[in-house]
Chains A and B, each alone.
Chain A
């Protein structure tokens, strides 16, 4: 039945897409008179050739794992959650409230508390569009994206009028207390004479992201709820006939999705900034869509795609620091990768499927014994 072997679907298509994007990016860099080879060298050496580079790459990766998982969980129920941005913002609010107003004795307790708060706030923010979709038929794409703006406005109001220290210019909360400081990779892996990950923001949250990958895999493929989510996603009518309630599946899958997106905040808000700033999510919610698409909605794929996008982000930053390539062009390169791996999937898929079909046909003709 399959038009292609599975390995081609999982490995070959993303790889070809990536190469096409890289080729086009090289042409763009060439067009502005810079050397694409040097640009690639800067990106690679700056993001994966030192622990400092890895420290930033994995920091971005952690963000993208959470938002990528969020999109993929919802997608298994055929819900297109593009509100990861707003859900992560609300997660940040939850983290900030918990860190500021509860006097935590130790970071480990603070981490547990903040994780729960981040997930709860993100889930609550996703629950409203989910409820509207389930009971009123309001399209989830429209409502979730509108909730991004509502979250931004709410956060702006709270930061400017309630949470900002008096007299401060920056619309941000004050610094979280020292007890909520999460150990960074530098704290964990450096020794006095061997400094690793110096100054990099990657922190213990990365391991929570890995745990989340395993948890999502277990949820989707090993639990009754996961089965119901997938069944609903494949066919709503069949799921209903089998006694699976659409309302419950929509609301639950969206709340899990929102909770995962919200949990991103323990990385960027608690781990990196240690305060809540206005634009803390910085598009990671939308990158999550590309990560989930590229990762084929499987946690392993999401993890790999998140590493790729972490590399693109950190490599892009290094390009800005080390060359005179303007940052708009760096965004163009990132966008090309997203476009080819996400949106233009079929452009690679169709020709490839044809090739595999013709190979199969010719081999079937040649060896009738099969």
Chain B
């Protein structure tokens, strides 16, 4: 009986808070934390931008364990938050179970497809953006050897590397791509020291352009590349400013836009699969004052042409995750 009373009390509290927080959006960050200088931080940036522009508020939580995924989803759904945005493919399974229980709540998942009527799945064509920066790397390289440093060895990162290698070879068919992964555990997302070591190793193999798709590890890659007077390529956010004149470009993955759009649409957010590719500027390459001097007009023309060809479908970049093979690179 007391259990029952307490349970009812708990639901009453939830119902009360539901009234207060009605239709505020919520965002759930993955285990990396919202200040990871990469994916989660980009999502946080999008949510902050929405809050600043609209004056609205949003609920948020950073997870500590896998068991909390379903817990956080249910708590926000029961509190009346709508839509609920989650950053990361790892939410796929939990959302698949939860979505059906809250048909009136809209869920937005980034980097993963969940097939439910109230879920918006945002996926990025990272291979397309990586292809474009790969072309730039192939054209900028004088030694004919370029490097790729991935974070944790998972298919998503191989997708980056595979698109990159295809771009390099498209620009320079004789080029060599050296690829390394930082590690096999999530710690690989935030290991700048190892990123630095791998960069030095790739330089000793002749690489003079290095692309880092490694979250916080990339900071070490870009630093070492700048110290060694070779070029580097940033990822996710525009990282050109980190070492002006020494970062060739950055592969942009606009997670912030995805979050911003979802929160702006609010409870009316359109569900279904939302592919963010070159065509709708979900991915791309960064050109600003910091790297203007590194990009020749020929390079810019070639990449712009390739981007247009990808956008209209005449150029198809192979997606590693479609069949787990890569024509241009062996991992």
- The answer to whether A and B interact is yes
Q: Which residues of A contact B (CB under 8 A)?
A: 45, 49-53, 56, 59-60, 152-153, 156-157, 160, 164, 166-172, 175, 194-196, 199, 201, 268, 272-273, 275, 277-280, 282, 313, 316-317, 320-321, 326-328, 330-331
Is B324 within 8 A of A166, CB to CB? yes
Is A160 within 8 A of B66, CB to CB? no
CB distance from A285 to the nearest CB of B (A): 14
Select B7's contact among A196, A273, A321, A327, beta carbons within 8 Å. Answer: A196
CB distance from A149 to the nearest CB of B (A): 8
Select B62's contact among A172, A195, A320, beta carbons within 8 Å. Answer: A320
Chain A residues within 8 Å of B71, by CB: 56, 199, 317, 321
Given contacts A160-B153, A160-B155, contact A321 B66 (CB under 8 A): no
Is B154 within 8 A of A169, CB to CB? yes
CB distance from B57 to the nearest CB of A (A): 11
B275: Cβ under 8 A from any A Cβ: no
Select B66's contact among A167, A280, A313, beta carbons within 8 Å. Answer: A280
Is A156 within 8 A of B66, CB to CB? no
Is B67 within 8 A of A52, CB to CB? no
Is B184 within 8 A of A153, CB to CB? yes
CB distance from A176 to the nearest CB of B (A): 12
Main secondary structure of the interface of B (DSSP, over half): helix
Q: How far is the CA of A273 from the CA of B97 in the complex (A)?
A: 11
Chain A residues within 8 Å of B322, by CB: 167
Is B64 within 8 A of A327, CB to CB? yes
CB distance from A152 to the nearest CB of B (A): 5
Given contacts A169-B112, A194-B4, A321-B72, contact A56 B67 (CB under 8 A): yes
Chain A residues within 8 Å of B155, by CB: 160, 164, 168-169, 171
Beyond the given A50-B9, A273-B66, please list 16 additional residue pairs across the A-B interface where CB-CB is below 8 A: A50-B7, A51-B3, A52-B7, A152-B184, A156-B153, A156-B184, A157-B184, A160-B155, A167-B322, A169-B112, A171-B154, A199-B70, A272-B67, A279-B31, A316-B64, A321-B72
Select A321's contact among B9, B61, B67, B184, beta carbons within 8 Å. Answer: B61
Q: Which of B85-93, B202-210, B279-287 contacts A (4 or more CB under 8 A)?
A: B85-93
Given contacts A160-B155, A175-B93, A275-B93, contact A282 B6 (CB under 8 A): no
Counted as pairs of residues, one from A and one from B, with CB atoms less than 8 Å apart, the total is 104
Residue among A272, A317, A331 with most chain B CB within 10 A: A317
Is B64 within 8 A of A320, CB to CB? yes
B185: Cβ under 8 A from any A Cβ: yes
Is A50 within 8 A of B4, CB to CB? no
Is A326 within 8 A of B62, CB to CB? yes
Is A277 within 8 A of B62, CB to CB? no
Closest to B72 in A: A321
Is A170 within 8 A of B67, CB to CB? no
CB distance from B293 to the nearest CB of A (A): 37
Q: How far is the CA of A278 from the CA of B65 in the complex (A)?
A: 12
Chain A residues within 8 Å of B93, by CB: 170, 172, 175, 273, 275
Residue among A45, A272, A275, A320 with most chain B CB within 10 A: A320
21 residue pairs from A and B, CB less than 8 Å apart: A49-B6, A50-B7, A51-B3, A56-B71, A166-B323, A169-B89, A169-B92, A170-B92, A171-B155, A268-B67, A272-B67, A273-B67, A273-B93, A279-B66, A282-B65, A282-B66, A321-B71, A327-B33, A327-B62, A327-B63, A328-B33
CB distance from B33 to the nearest CB of A (A): 7
B142: Cβ under 8 A from any A Cβ: no
CB distance from A280 to the nearest CB of B (A): 7
Contact with A along B36-73 (1 / 0, CB 8 A): 00000000000000000000000001111111101110
CB distance from B131 to the nearest CB of A (A): 19
Chain A residues within 8 Å of B89, by CB: 169-170
B156: Cβ under 8 A from any A Cβ: yes
Is B10 within 8 A of A50, CB to CB? yes
Is B68 within 8 A of A50, CB to CB? no
CB distance from A296 to the nearest CB of B (A): 27
CB distance from A12 to the nearest CB of B (A): 30
CB distance from A233 to the nearest CB of B (A): 33
Q: How far is the CA of A201 from the CA of B186 in the complex (A)?
A: 24
Chain B residues within 8 Å of A60, by CB: 67
Q: How far is the CA of A172 from the CA of B7 in the complex (A)?
A: 34
Is A50 within 8 A of B6, CB to CB? yes
Chain A residues within 8 Å of B65, by CB: 282, 313, 317
Closest to A172 in B: B93
Chain A residues within 8 Å of B75, by CB: 321
Chain B residues within 8 Å of A194, by CB: 4
Chain A residues within 8 Å of B64, by CB: 313, 316-317, 320, 327, 330-331
Is B66 within 8 A of A169, CB to CB? no
B256: Cβ under 8 A from any A Cβ: no
Closest to A55 in B: B71
Is A317 within 8 A of B185, CB to CB? no
Q: How far is the CA of A152 from the CA of B152 in the complex (A)?
A: 12
B74: Cβ under 8 A from any A Cβ: yes
Select B74's contact among A49, A175, A199, A328, beta carbons within 8 Å. Answer: A199
Given contacts A169-B112, A169-B155, contact A317 B68 (CB under 8 A): yes
Chain B residues within 8 Å of A166, by CB: 323-324
B:114-168 near A, CB below 8 Å: 153-156
B191: Cβ under 8 A from any A Cβ: no
CB distance from A39 to the nearest CB of B (A): 15
B271: Cβ under 8 A from any A Cβ: no
B111: Cβ under 8 A from any A Cβ: yes
Select B186's contact among A53, A196, A279, A320, beta carbons within 8 Å. Answer: A279
Residue among A272, A327, A331 with most chain B CB within 10 A: A327
Chain A residues within 8 Å of B291, by CB: none
Closest to A157 in B: B184
Name the 8 nearest CB pairs between A and B, nearest first. Answer: A156-B184, A50-B10, A169-B89, A327-B62, A282-B65, A153-B184, A50-B6, A171-B154
Given contacts A59-B67, A160-B155, contact A51 B62 (CB under 8 A): no
Select A160's contact among B62, B112, B154, B321, beta carbons within 8 Å. Answer: B154
Residue among B7, B33, B67 with most chain A CB within 10 A: B67
